[in-house]
Chain A
Amino acid sequence: MTKEMLTGAELIVRTLEHLKISTVFGLPGGAILPAYDPLYDSPIRHILARHEQGAGHMAEGYAQATGELGVVIATSGPGATNLITSLNNALMDSTPLLAITGQVATEAIGNDAFQEAYTVGLTISATKHNYLITDVKEIPQILLEAKHIATSGRPGPVLVDIPKDILNDKTSWVEPKLEELPGYKPTLEANPRMIQQAVELIKNSKKPILYVGGGIIHSKANQELFELSTKYNIPVVTTLMGRGAFPDGNDLCIGMPGMHGNYTATTSIQNSDLLIALGVRFDDRVTANPKFFAQKAKVIHADIDPAEIGKVREPEVPIVGDAKSVIKGLIETLADTEVDTKDWLKEIKEMKKSYPLSYNQEEKGPLKVPYVLEELQKMSEEDSIVVSGVGQHQMWISLHWKFTYPNTWLNSGGLGTMGYSLPAAIGAKVAFPDKQVLALDGDGCFQMTCQELITASTENIPLKIVVFNNGNHGMVRQWQKIFYDHRFSASELTHHTPDYVALAEAMGAVGLRMVEKSDVNRVFEEMFKVNDRPVLVDCVVDPDDMVFPMVPAGGSNDVVLLNEDDLKKI
């Protein structure tokens, strides 16, 4: 019997099915067109985005919410270049992503053919790894390899570029088997000697603090972290990417440190004598000027990516390994040791009491984002997935929202990609149709990818969107206020254009608006009643509100500005 011959295009679809991919996001075009034909018959759900950047963020949102691979498909040239923002975003936030792009036919490569871009060259530094396929036989093997690289070690985006002629070439199906990659062997198990050294430091510390980030979520180590913290009474700060890795409701949780972190989180790091840094990278938004960061503390730094260790801060104890294995090792080795942190916890408790987060919502005054968030959280489910854009609203959410579970907070932390919220929320809602998914966005961000509202309507993805409409690029405005003498150059957007309610309706969603305090509960009630379509709330907020606390860029975390009056200190 002759073997069944498949085209390259069919091989892609067959391999994706073989890899148990159930959903892909994408947008067709000339070079990738052959792949869309077999996709038409496949049980794989394809979500048609309105822009490739949106498709990329959808795949990221899917991946961030599930902890599994997100897949995006685009065509050559502009399709691929439009993807780059999402690839780089996934690289910075360690999100497992597989991008499949069409390329012009092999013989046309290098000739500046129509819709030709050097996709592999353009994306070398925006991906964890990338491939150009040169033979149809390679397709299953390379897709399997790409998934492996994207999801293992420190996760990240992998791109596979496939010329159109190869999509049409035929070969037989051979089930791909993962072979050893000579240059790719992530270290997962922590070295017991380093664990032992870490434990010695923990035993001897009076003021230890767990400084944890996205690595906990990627390695699904939240339960182990909970045990480590609660068994030995070690308080926890969760970075922007680590929100939800430890429940905010627990007394040991201090929340987010850094530039817009809460006072206690930032200051307790400064006062601690031992930083137990797990799955974090000493980002400048956390450390401010690293010279002044946690000067009194010794550092245990565990990360799956050896290049993060010593990049910013030389640790006393470096540990390369998966967070889960590291924490298990620490718990096993600490065994029944008692870490006496009573005084330290008391100090932190007092700090929390003296420096609570605050905002001032006047009865008749303009709406403040923190107030709206608190009301919204009261009315939403405990495991709602919150997806934010970038800027003031993102910081307010991270500060004021109480997270209980990992993978319920999706945002663009590293690259700071405005426009992330709506498409990423679509990806999350596709992954979890039964969960509440809240896209909480700024108006500046929303305008960058708002065409994806049509995707949500046409694909029947009933997510909730709140646009915090301050008519400005709020964080830009805040910096202009502080550092540029109130000269609001190019930061004004206006509250009224577009009319977000009309825009939502025009795109097949329900549009609602809230302007004052008395609207808030009523409008959110209405919002939660809509479950057959996307619903958008135009939430008109105070343009002059600023995010505090704040440590100006390059400053010292010893000087936390708590309110506008404190600006005199700088």
Chain B
Amino acid sequence: MSERILSVLVEDKPGVLARVALTISRRGFNINSLSVGPTNIEGRSKMTIVTELESVEQVKKQLNKLVNVIKIVELDPDNTIESEVLLMKVSINKETQTSVIEKASLSGAKSVDVGQDYAVFELTGTSKELMKFEKLLKPYGIIEMIRGGRIAIQTKL
């Protein structure tokens, strides 16, 4: 895997996500994940874009041309903390209920809602951990699953 993570500071204005998304699709870049949300600075949002090594230079340069893009930092893979949230609704019954909840709990997932025939879990972790969790509960029947997109922050100043 030759992934690169870009942390992109943008102006919080209507249409900025569309501009970024259009630039990416227009240039045919490979993007593995894109997430966007507010920051501690007013009027600024941050996007975390996970792309491949071969596209990273052009992605940076083309996005930098957007007037609403303020700053792009390529995160150093050795000093980066990455996180993603997952919500999963799993099918359960009397026989499987205990083992499903136990497995989820051992994986660090939170049971946010448990019904008669379903359970909803929330898990935060790296993409790898989330994929492992998915594999673990797949045999019980995943009814629905959503991942929130990867976010990342550099550890050093």
Q: Do B22 and A307 touch (CB < 8 A)? A: no
Q: Is A181 an interface residue (CB 8 A)?
A: yes
Q: Do A181 and B67 touch (CB < 8 A)? A: yes
Interface of chain A residues 114 through 130 with chain B (CB within 8 A): 120-121, 124-125, 128-129
Interface size class of A (residues with CB under 8 A): 10 to 19
Q: Which of A120, A125, A183, A310 makes the CB contact (< 8 A) with B68?
A: A183
Q: Do B67 and A149 touch (CB < 8 A)? A: yes
Contacts of A306 in B (CB 8 A): 61, 64
Q: Is B94 an interface residue (CB 8 A)?
A: no
Contacts of A182 in B (CB 8 A): 11, 70
A305 and B64 CA atoms in complex are apart in Å by: 10
Q: Is B39 an interface residue (CB 8 A)?
A: no
A183 and B22 CA atoms in complex are apart in Å by: 18
Interface centre among A121, A182, A183, A306 (most CB of B within 10 A): A183
**Complex interface bits, A301-342 against B, C-beta within 8 A gives 1, otherwise 0:** 000011100110000000000000000000000000000000
Interface of chain A residues 281 through 316 with chain B (CB within 8 A): 305-307, 310-311
Interface centre among A132, A184, A310 (most CB of B within 10 A): A184
Q: Do B22 and A125 touch (CB < 8 A)? A: yes
Q: Do B57 and A310 touch (CB < 8 A)? A: yes
Contacts of B23 in A (CB 8 A): 125
Q: Is B73 an interface residue (CB 8 A)?
A: no
Q: Do A311 and B67 touch (CB < 8 A)? A: no
Q: Which of B26, B61, B71 makes the CB contact (< 8 A) with A125?
A: B26
A129 and B15 CA atoms in complex are apart in Å by: 11
A-B pairs under 8 A by CB, number: 41
**Complex interface bits, B114-133 against A, C-beta within 8 A gives 1, otherwise 0:** 00000000000000000000
A120 and B13 CA atoms in complex are apart in Å by: 13
Contacts of A124 in B (CB 8 A): 15, 18-19, 22
Interface of chain B residues 38 through 84 with chain A (CB within 8 A): 57-58, 61-62, 64-71
Q: Do A307 and B61 touch (CB < 8 A)? A: yes
Contacts of B66 in A (CB 8 A): 129, 183
In the complex formed, the residue of A with least CB distance to B69 is: A183
In the complex formed, the residue of B with least CB distance to A309 is: B61
**Complex interface bits, B6-28 against A, C-beta within 8 A gives 1, otherwise 0:** 00001100110011001100100
In the complex formed, the residue of B with least CB distance to A156 is: B65
A184 and B64 CA atoms in complex are apart in Å by: 8
Given A125-B26, A129-B67, A307–B62 Cβ distance below 8 Å?
A: yes
In the complex formed, the residue of A with least CB distance to B66 is: A183
Extra pairs beyond A125-B22, A132-B15, A149-B67 (9, CB < 8 Å): A128-B65, A132-B14, A181-B67, A183-B11, A183-B68, A184-B67, A306-B61, A306-B64, A311-B61
A-B contact pairs, 22 of them (CB 8 A): A120-B15, A121-B18, A124-B15, A124-B18, A124-B19, A125-B23, A128-B65, A129-B67, A132-B14, A132-B15, A149-B67, A183-B11, A183-B67, A183-B70, A184-B67, A306-B61, A307-B58, A307-B64, A307-B65, A310-B57, A310-B58, A311-B61
What residues of chain B have their CB less than 8 Å away from a CB belonging to chain A?
10-11, 14-15, 18-19, 22-23, 26, 57-58, 61-62, 64-71
What residues of chain A have their CB less than 8 Å away from a CB belonging to chain B?
120-121, 124-125, 128-129, 132, 149, 181-184, 305-307, 310-311
